[in-house]
Structure 1
Amino acid sequence: MVDRTSPSGGPQRPPLSAASLMLRLTGIAVVVGAVAAAFAYVHGTFDPQRLTPKALVDVLEKNNGVHPGFRRNHAKGVCVIGHFESSGEVREYSSAQVFNEPRTPVVGRFALPAGNPYAPDNSVPIRSLALRFTQTNGQQWRTGMNSMPVFPVGTPDAFYQLQQAQSPDPATGKPDPTKVPAFFAAHPEAVPFLTWVKTARPSASYATETYNSINAFYLVNSSGQKQAVRWSMAPMARDSAPAAAEQGADFLERDLVQRLAEGPLRWQLNITLANPGDPVNDASKVWPDGRKVLNAGTLVLEKTQPQLSGECRDINYDPLVLPSGIEGSEDPLLAARSAGYADSYLRRTSEVSQLPATRQEARP
């Protein structure tokens, strides 16, 4: 929260032309919410003139439509069940049990960004993975990761402005195609994200994607020493698959089910240690290459469950639900994600009864 190759391990597509890039940016604007289901200041208790959780979730609903019972972002997904096997390599940096015990149970969720649970899987180039690790002491570690390497902006307000830029114009019912390019022109911090967008492509499988924390956190050891980190889940499955466009609208879940029928899927948890001076509180800034990377262990996923009846349905993957030994940084997007997730969670859980019975059991 970086793999410059295509998700299947093949060569990248050539860069887009300037005109094609602007068109793509208009369509991808809502996608950049992949890191956060909604952003706002914590609990919305600050100055009412500032951004609140309600305001941002409202704009996501305006842009995506309201689909009762579904998440306001990352609406289309699938539950996964498995465990984490610690390598022991992080013990000197963190007292968290997840890094000190041999095995920790995991409930996760693969998903697409944006708020339409019926969107075609190849409509966006980003995939996400959220995980809940439950330690033997009852403490939990929840994390939401995404296939993009960096966030486009560094503040909740800027993210909100981007959402507003791609809101439908009441006169036409469609977004103004000039607003998103104008937004990015006024936000030079988005250059690393835009550089990634030029060659980003929808992956053919959740199983071959790398997922990044994007935000920074701190590992804290038993002596109270802190180390700033970012992490990523690197896939151990690298085989290619047919082109996404040839697999229909819902190929990602089908592919995942088929792969798991043949055996567990694995990812290596890589934790990157920041050097002094690396930006810790700005998710729009990348860290230079050459940083020390720890192999924290292996994520093993064993089965899927439908998202509307599986264990992941009622989990709020709040990134600030952390066990002793892991702490959040002062990145404003982290506190914002926490507040926004809570607002979205309350809305969708109050609507579950509105789902038709067929939808409650179906895989969207």
Structure 2
Amino acid sequence: MADDTERRILRSRTDISRRGVLLGLAAVGGIAAVDVGGFLYAKGRLTPDALTPSRIADRFEQLGGKHEGFRRNHAKGLSATGHFDSNGAGAAVSTAVVFQPGRVPVTGRFSLSGSLPDAADASATVRGLGLAFALPNGEQWRTAMVNLPVFLDSTPHGFYERLLASKPVAATGKPDPEKMADFLARYPETAAAMQVVRQHPPTSGFGDSTFRGLNAFRVTDAAGVTAPVRWMLVPERRPLPAHQAQPGKNYLFDEVIRAVAAEPLRWRLVLTVGEPGDPTHDATKAWPEGRRTVDVGTVTIDSVQTEEAGNARDVNFDPLVLPAGISASDDPLLNARSAVYARSFTRRSGEPTRPSAVTVQEVLDAR
């Protein structure tokens, strides 16, 4: 599905404040309230073993330690700003204002998975790019994407169980192989997804990565016709192989800082339109090759900033903050992500902060 589209495209070649985010969360408070109960999977009963946003946030803290003021996952990051130029093609599948022709400002955040805000960069670590589109009618669209072809889990329970199985053993620094084998036996969809991920090695950095919003959503056109979609950002830069050796502790972030200082980075925003029977509830499964794709415009990142108050550090990239014309699918991970993101945001908002491990000016001064 995605590879052919990526190759074809590659060949052709308002900051949001913490107060604003809190207001946005208040506006979707009803969603958050539903989310918490919606992914407990307690069959209608809240039990001591029920899976809650707090339990997932707690698990991240137990795995990587508690780092006050930082996200519980994707803790290491870099703020970014830019814009999205819509070419109008998206209006064929959705009435969302973001797909009308024109330009809207974008707040973004590059990140690496994990709860350590000062972890050493590594090519195998999952890379993230969150975007918040500020639309002219006052709506927002937020999306958090990663550089994987599929997600590794189909349910919140599977995700939580994988966190448990992945806990490093003190003696080796790696997961207990017996626990991981047991987990994979109970969650064969994750084992299959891992095989797919292995077939898509990472590129050299953020700027040449394809980022995907792996969950399915629904779009509705002017005639009221609704269709499932997934989206991805395809880089205009030619992808290069990942570094064989680690050039420095912050090399992935240092490279994107230097790259944006030289010229803006651009990605094509591509919608893949699903067909009847395509799974919308399971992010571990890719859709078949040959599905219709719609190139809806260009995302440009023309500035990056050290994370601090008032920029993307304070943005909650809640996947359920959606404009009219885009809605959630039946994927259970969407409610879970929204609820856990909200819990993480609430925790870090009430904590003291310390400086980011990635400092833009230091990188530019060292050139």
- Scaled by the length of structure 2, the TM-score of the pair is 0.82
Asked if the contact 1:107–1:132 (Cα under 8 Å) also holds between the matched residues in 2, the reply is yes
How many Å separate the matches in 2 of 1:163 and 1:242? 26
Query: After the TM superposition, which residues 205-284 of structure 1 pair with which residues of structure 2 at under 5 Å, given as runs?
Result: 205-238=205-238, 240=240, 243=243, 245-284=245-284
Q: Which runs of 5+ in 2 are unaligned?
A: 8-31, 363-367
Cα shift at 1:347: 0.8
Task: Provide the rounded CA distance (Å) in 1 between the counterparts of 2:358 and 2:291.
Answer: 45
**Cα displacement string for residues 151-195 of structure 1 (whole angstroms, at most 9, x for unaligned residues):** 122111111111111236699997533211221122221244211
1:202 and 1:275, CA in 2 relative to 1: closer, same or farther beyond 3 A?
A: closer
Q: 1:304 to 1:219 in 2, by over 3 A?
A: same
Deviations 1:121-170 (A, max 9, x none): 11634211110001001100000111111112211111111111123669
Q: How far does the alpha carbon of each residue in 1:13-63 deviate from its partner, in whole angstroms, 9 at most, with x for none? A: xxxxxxxxxxxxxxxxxxxxxxxxxx9982247532321001111111111
Residue 36 of structure 2 aligns with which residue? 43
Mapped pair 1:89 → 2:89: yes
Instruction: Report which stretch shifted further, 339-348 or 235-244.
Output: 235-244
CA deviation digits over 1:322-350, x for unaligned, max 9? 00111010110000100000000011111
Inter-CA distance 301–171: structure 2 relative to 1 (3 Å threshold): closer
Aligned twin of 1:155 = 155
What is the rounded CA distance, in whole Å, between the counterparts of 1:51 and 1:328 in structure 2?
21
Distance change (3 Å), C-alpha of 1:205 and 1:173: closer
Task: Check whether the contact 1:308–1:360 (CA below 8 A) recurs between aligned residues.
Answer: no
Aligned length: 330
Letter in 2 for 1:43: V
Q: Amino acid of the residue matched to residue 159 of structure 1?
A: F
Q: Deviation per CA, 1:226-263, whole angstroms, max 9, x where unpaired?
A: 11000100000116478262421101121111111221
Distance 2:237 2:109 in 1: 18
Question: Is it true that 1:109 corresponds to 2:109 in the alignment?
Answer: yes
Distance 1:196 1:310 in 2: 38
Write out aligned runs for 1:1-364 (5 A). Answer: 2-3=2-3, 42-44=35-37, 47-49=45-47, 50-122=50-122, 124-167=124-167, 175-238=175-238, 240=240, 243=243, 245-309=245-309, 311-351=311-351, 353-355=352-354, 358-359=355-356, 362=359
Equivalent residue number for residue 29 of structure 1: none
- In structure 2, relative to structure 1, the CA distance for the partners of 1:74 and 1:331 (3 Å cut) is same
Deviations 1:76-124 (A, max 9, x none): 1111100001111111211111100311110000110111111111163
- Stretch deviating more after TM superposition (329-338 or 189-198): 189-198
State whether residues 122 and 246 of structure 2, in contact with CA within 8 Å, keep that contact through their aligned partners in structure 1: no
Rate the CA distance shift 1:153–1:240 in 2: closer, same or farther, 3 A. closer
Q: Distance in 2 between matches of 1:359 and 1:153?
A: 30
Q: 1:107 to 1:329 in 2, by over 3 A?
A: same
Q: For residues 33 and 178 of structure 2, what CA distance do their matches in structure 1 show?
A: 25
The share of aligned pairs that are identical, in percent, is: 41
The AA in structure 2 aligned to 1:268 is R
TM-score, normalising length from structure 1?
Answer: 0.83
Stretches of structure 1 lacking an aligned partner (at least 5 in a row): 8-38
The SS at the match of 1:207 is coil
| Contact 1:81–1:304 (CA under 8 A) maintained in structure 2 | yes
CA distance, structure 2, for counterparts of residue 240 and residue 176 of structure 1:
33
* Cα shift at 1:264: 1.1
One-letter identity of the residue aligned with 2:267: W
Partners of 1:103 and 1:361 lie apart in 2 by 29
Query: Residue 216 of structure 1 aligns to a residue in which SS?
Result: strand
CA contact (8 A) 1:147 1:209 kept: yes
* Helix, strand or coil at the partner of 2:335: helix
Deviates more, 1:244-253 or 1:73-82: 244-253
Distance 1:361 1:253 in 2: 7
| Conserved 8 A contact 1:236-1:267 | yes
CA–CA distance in 1 between the matches of 2:123 and 2:237? 23
**Cα contact 2:250–2:358 (8 A) shared by 1:** no
